[in-house]
């Protein structure tokens, strides 16, 4: 592992399972045709493999294959859902723990499309969170976008209850599942209208992969148009899913790797992965609480993430020192300034620990010693 232990798996799991490497390699050595672009055998074989992954991903999230769209990443999926719902105006509610993948498209729509937005505070209780959202609903509200789990503190939102609230008001519910997919059991039965997620994180796929999973209750306008391999004589973008949202050549190598990652997670089960990672987080958190001058930022109900800071020192300085000692943890604002404002760390950020299924107790214990040494060095 390049001489460094990866505890930044919230950005991208590494190492990858062996079956993911083999699947990605097969795209370059066997399935090299352009899927859906021609009736010759190379194209057909590649298309069949891509469809098999679509079926697997759809099954994993309780969706129909045609409503399971491959995207370059979670950010792209969120842009497709948010802009597809909001580009002609209206009001959207987001939470105070959203990633910039939500905040920035909403901000852009506010500047260019006359969209208005409100920010709801995620509270420790589901009841308070729901009330915070409910009181922001207006006659022109079209949708609510709330993350499944924060990439800063791991806080799990009451997404099932939010989905019920949205359904009762006829609102579209969009959710960022980048930090929850593969670690918690998520399906469209939980009430999501659009579930957006990354392939390279808890699904153990390659970078450059993502999914937009639709329940089929709301129609999106497109934000990109182009070749789909179907209805080529028609200048209008096809209306049928998934072609409507997959303009241009898909990432066959990434998709096949993602399919292998999903199969890996299915075999391990999200529940067992969660238990393993939580055990490591609990071990680190207990040790951090014993260290003088170290502050920990957590939530009562969370995915396996621990954010902390050594008081008086910028988080990126701390993470750089830990990198020098052989540990990859992410310091800074994690592309989530709303969350850092909410927990009071917008000035210096936090250092984030996020293990994977391949992380070990021995590695975690070594990290604890490295944090202790780093704290002493900085204060010296």
Q: Where are the domains of the chain?
A: 5-15+270-379, 18-268
User: Residues 169-193: what's their mean pLDDT?
Assistant: 98
Q: pLDDT tens, 287-337?
A: 999 999 999 999 999 999 999 999 999 999 999 999 999 999 999 999 999
User: Residues 355-367: what's their mean pLDDT?
Assistant: 98
Pick the CATH number of 18-268 from 3.40.190.10, 3.40.1190.20, 3.40.30.10, 3.40.640.10: 3.40.640.10
pTM given for the model: 0.96
User: Residues 29-37: what's their mean pLDDT?
Assistant: 92
User: Residues 182-187: what's their mean pLDDT?
Assistant: 97
Judged against a pLDDT cut of 90, whether residue 75 lies above it is answered with: yes
Give the model's pLDDT for residue 3: 86
CA dihedral for 121, 89, 107, 13, sign (positive or negative) = positive
Q: Please tell me the distance from the alpha carbon of residue 227 to that of residue 97, in angstroms, as a whole number.
A: 36
**Banded pLDDT at 159 (limits 50, 70, 90):** very high
* Mean pLDDT for the chain overall: 97
Judged against a pLDDT cut of 70, whether residue 139 lies above it is answered with: yes
Residues 6+ apart with CB under 8 A from 92: 82, 85, 86, 106, 109, 115, 116, 117, 118, 141, 142, 143, 144, 145
| CATH placement of domain 5-15+270-379 | 3.90.1150.10
Give the model's pLDDT for residue 2: 67
């Amino acid at each position: 592992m390049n001489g460094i232990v990866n505890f930044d798996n919230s950005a991208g799991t590494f190492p990858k399972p062996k079956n993911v490497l083999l699947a990605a390699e097969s795209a370059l050595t066997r399935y090299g045709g352009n899927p859906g672009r021609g009736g010759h055998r190379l194209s057909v074989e590649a298309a069949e493999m891509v469809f098999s992954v679509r079926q697997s991903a759809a099954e994993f999230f309780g969706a129909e294959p045609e409503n399971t769209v491959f995207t370059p990443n979670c950010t792209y999926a969120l842009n497709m859902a948010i802009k597809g719902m909001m580009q002609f105006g209206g009001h959207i509610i987001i939470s105070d723990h959203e990633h910039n993948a939500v905040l920035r498209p909403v901000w852009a729509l506010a500047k260019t499309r006359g969209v208005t937005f409100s920010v709801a505070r995620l509270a420790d209780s589901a009841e308070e969170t729901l009330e915070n959202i409910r009181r922001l609903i207006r006659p022109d509200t079209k949708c609510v976008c709330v993350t499944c789990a924060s990439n800063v503190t791991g806080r799990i939102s009451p997404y099932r209850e939010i989905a019920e609230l949205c359904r009762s008001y006829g609102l579209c519910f969009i959710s960022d599942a980048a930090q929850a997919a593969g670690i918690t059991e998520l399906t469209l039965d939980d009430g999501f209208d659009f579930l957006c997620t990354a392939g390279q994180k808890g699904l153990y796929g390659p970078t450059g992969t993502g999914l937009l999973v639709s329940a089929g209750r709301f129609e999106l306008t497109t934000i990109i148009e182009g070749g789909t391999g179907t209805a080529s004589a028609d200048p209008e973008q096809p209306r049928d899913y998934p072609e409507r949202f997959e303009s241009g050549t898909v990432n066959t190598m990434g998709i096949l790797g993602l399919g292998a990652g999903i199969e890996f997670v299915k075999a391990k089960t999200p529940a067992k992965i969660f238990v393993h990672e939580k055990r490591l987080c609990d071990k680190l958190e207990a040790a951090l609480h014993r260290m003088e001058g170290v502050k920990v930022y957590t939530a009562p109900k969370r995915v396996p993430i621990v954010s902390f800071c050594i008081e008086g020192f910028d988080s990126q300085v701390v993470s750089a020192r830990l990198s020098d000692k052989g540990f990859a943890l992410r310091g800074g604002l994690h592309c989530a300034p709303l969350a850092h404002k909410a927990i009071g760390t917008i000035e210096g950020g936090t250092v984030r620990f996020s293990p994977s299924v391949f992380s070990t107790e021995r590695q975690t214990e070594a990290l604890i010693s490295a944090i202790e040494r780093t704290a002493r060095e900085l204060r010296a």
